Amino acid sequence: MFHFVQILLALPVRFLFPTKIIGKENIPNGACILSSNHTSNMDAVILAVKTWEKKYYLAKKELFQNKVFGFFLTKLGAIKIDRQSNDLTAIKNCLKVLKDNKKLVIFPEGTRVHNENMELGEVKHGVAMFAVKAKVPIVPIFIMKKPKLFRRNRIFVGKPFTLEEFYGKRLDSTLLDEAGEIVKTKMNELREYALNSLTKKK
């Protein structure tokens, strides 16, 4: 069902939101977390359509209020989460995805952040927590611009990294802050690379 929906949406999404993915080969086989900045509700849809393998996404429950949009999100791998509470069901579902050797996409800022320089906002603990608990690599992703109709865009995929130094440790808030800083640093390094590559082309 996933690939059917993916194919169904492929042409309109590619026509309406022309996007080039750079560094797709950096996505490893097997379980990993794709950690991306968040600019629009279309981010997850574009990533799902532009990469063939099924990936799972954390998506706020409010997105499922529209039944049609919610249907497509579910078929594209969305995992509903209540951001106002400690949603244990969503956490268990995410860990199961990784345990089943599949890929999980997380927007670590927890909400859409869009500014002129595409600077990363506050990074929540989710990416670090799941990566350490499941012992899987993290792949940083940078979306160059907020998706807009007919505007060309680029998505950069960085090299995977791990948080092995935290494996087996008790994940208190101090440790998660430290691990989260590593995630933020890696994502900002990719952002700088992407912006520099754009400047060179000019």
Query: Domain 23-201: what homologous superfamily?
Result: Glycerol-3-phosphate (1)-acyltransferase (3.40.1130.10)
Specify the pTM: 0.91
Angle between helices 43-50 and 67-75 (to 10 degrees): 40
The pLDDT score that the predictor gives to residue 77 is: 87
Q: What is the C-alpha to C-alpha distance for residues 7 and 76, in angstroms, rounded to an integer?
A: 11
For residue 168, which amino acid is it? G
Distance CA 114, CA 151 (A): 16
By three-state DSSP, how is residue 178 classified? helix
Q: Where are the domains of the chain?
A: 23-201
Reduced to 3 states (helix: H, G, I; strand: E, B; else coil), residue 103 is strand
Q: What is the pLDDT of residue 73?
A: 81
Please give the torsion angle defined by the CA atoms of residues 41, 43, 44 and 47, in that order, rounded to the nearest 10 degrees: 160
Token pair of 75 as six digits: 């078929």
188 φ/ψ angles, rounded to the nearest 5 degrees: -70, -35
Rounded mean pLDDT for each run of 10 residues along the chain, 202 residues in total: 84 94 95 95 88 87 85 84 84 95 92 75 91 97 94 96 96 95 96 85 58
pLDDT of residue 116: 67
